[in-house]
Structure 1
Amino acid sequence: MKVGLYFGTFNPIHIGHLTIANHMAEHSDLDQIWFVVTPLSPFKKKSSLLDNRQRYEMVYRATKDYDKLRPSDIEFGLKQPNYTIDTLTYLQEKHPDYEFSLIMGEDNLKSFHKWKNYELILENHHIYVYPRISEGKIETQFDAHPKIHHIDAPIMEISSTFIRKSRKAGKNIRPMLPEHVWEYVDEMNFYK
């Protein structure tokens, strides 16, 4: 089975995340997409993150009605700070019959050469890249690499940061969230 790993803090998961993941599941050779909820990103301030389990709960609620989309808390039990190569190695040992690939925006591909053991990742895994808004195509050193697949997914301009700021300002964020996620955010008074 071919599994695409979509990493993120998902704080909160929104319709942009779901749209991209579903597009990957339906319009590539990937069989399933796993939303890997990252416990702590070195690029994010911890204070702005909801608790790991609350973010996992939102991803679970967002994906429960989709056969090809799954939540994953695999990184919660791994040593922190965690690197993608460590997660991939762990998953490959745990599921030797699965083929794991990464899903990332083309903006992340631009800095991929700075990732820990990026050569090893490329040697053993495929990368599925979705477009981002930019001034023309983002050129990278990986554009012609045989394991990099550019998927013509819809460009989504929604961000979790925008959703959190809008909620704090008293704006209606409901249309940007999957219904089950909105119900949970509303019930728990998140991001106010």
Structure 2
Amino acid sequence: MKKVGLYFGTFNPFHIGHLIIANHLAEHTDLDEIWLVITPQSPFKKKKNLLENHHRFELVYRATEAYDKLKPSDVEFKLPQPNYTSKTLAELKDSHPSLSFSLIMGEDNLVNFHKWKNYENILEEHDIYVCPRQTKMEIPERFQDHPKIHKTDTPIMEISSTLIRNMIKSGKNVEPLLQHKVWEYIDEMNFYR
């Protein structure tokens, strides 16, 4: 059964840190593909600097089209709000019964994983791949040495979408932080200015 890792994010914008992490997981774990699940804009919370869903999908598509193992996913665009990972996983399982889905998360999310809706069910049915963070986190004992939780040696990326948006707004050159086609689209569309 093909193993697909799900990497969730607003990707506002999708930057080289995201690309490096996704590619590393595709090349250095037993995951066959990484799906980049673009988190939709909540209809209840309008963020003025959050690009519309289709634009963020386009950024991820452009960044990953040359990578066979990386795919953008708009699955959450079609699901009721607010989005819960457990519902997204159930939807994907129903629509792709021949695939096995795993979650990708940072250590900071693992610390609070017990607060997620239906977290026990998620852990029972899915593997979790954990990416390290710069600041060492105190992982709850129940998640230490858990057979479904896999720590990865993914590079720690200290690049943030917020930093990139702020740099664009103040007229700084962000080209080195973005895949070329992503930069072209942002520049052409005049985003974040």
TM-score w.r.t. the length of structure 2 is 0.95
**Alpha carbons of structure 1 residues 186 and 100: separation in structure 2 relative to 1, 3 Å:** same
**What per-residue deviation string (whole Å, max 9, x for no partner) do you get for residues 82-107 of structure 1?**
10000000000111110000001111
Cα contact 2:6–2:36 (8 A) shared by 1: yes
Q: Secondary structure at the match of 2:139?
A: coil
Cα contact 2:129–2:149 (8 A) shared by 1: yes
User: CA separation in 2, counterparts of 1:96 and 1:157?
Assistant: 36
Cα contact 1:40–1:81 (8 A) shared by 2: no
- How many Å apart are 1:148 and its aligned residue? 0.3
Residue type of the alignment partner of 2:88? T
% identical equivalent positions: 66
- How many Å apart are 1:10 and its aligned residue? 0.2
Residue 179 (str. 1) matches residue 169 (str. 2)? no
Q: Secondary structure at the match of 1:47?
A: coil
User: CA separation in 1, counterparts of 2:138 and 2:21?
Assistant: 18
Cα contact 2:108–2:137 (8 A) shared by 1: no
Residue 132 (str. 1) matches residue 146 (str. 2)? no
Q: Secondary structure at the match of 1:89?
A: helix
Structure 1 counterpart of 2:166: 165
Structure 2 counterpart of 1:92: 93
- How many Å apart are 1:12 and its aligned residue? 0.2
- For these two proteins, the number of residue pairs brought into alignment is 190
Cα contact 1:5–1:36 (8 A) shared by 2: yes
User: CA separation in 2, counterparts of 1:118 and 1:176?
Assistant: 34
- How many Å apart are 1:45 and its aligned residue? 5.6
User: CA separation in 1, counterparts of 2:177 and 2:101?
Assistant: 29
Q: Secondary structure at the match of 2:48?
A: helix
User: CA separation in 1, counterparts of 2:7 and 2:173?
Assistant: 27
Structure 2 counterpart of 1:64: 65
Structure 2 counterpart of 1:47: 48
Instruction: Point out where structure 2 has 5 or more consecutive residues left out of the alignment.
Output: none
- How many Å apart are 1:73 and its aligned residue? 0.5
Structure 1 counterpart of 2:155: 154
User: CA separation in 1, counterparts of 2:35 and 2:167?
Assistant: 28
TM-score w.r.t. the length of structure 1 is 0.95
Cα contact 1:9–1:41 (8 A) shared by 2: no
Q: Secondary structure at the match of 1:81?
A: coil
What is the Cα-based RMSD across aligned positions, in Å? Answer: 1.4
Cα contact 2:49–2:192 (8 A) shared by 1: no
Residue type of the alignment partner of 2:171? G
Q: Secondary structure at the match of 1:100?
A: strand
Instruction: Point out where structure 1 has 5 or more consecutive residues left out of the alignment.
Output: none
Moved over 6 A (4+): none
Cα contact 1:8–1:37 (8 A) shared by 2: yes
User: CA separation in 2, counterparts of 1:3 and 1:121?
Assistant: 15
**What per-residue deviation string (whole Å, max 9, x for no partner) do you get for residues 87-136 of structure 1?**
000000111110000001111111111110000000000000111110x4
Residue type of the alignment partner of 1:95? H
Cα contact 1:32–1:68 (8 A) shared by 2: yes
- How many Å apart are 1:46 and its aligned residue? 2.4
User: CA separation in 1, counterparts of 2:93 and 2:180?
Assistant: 33
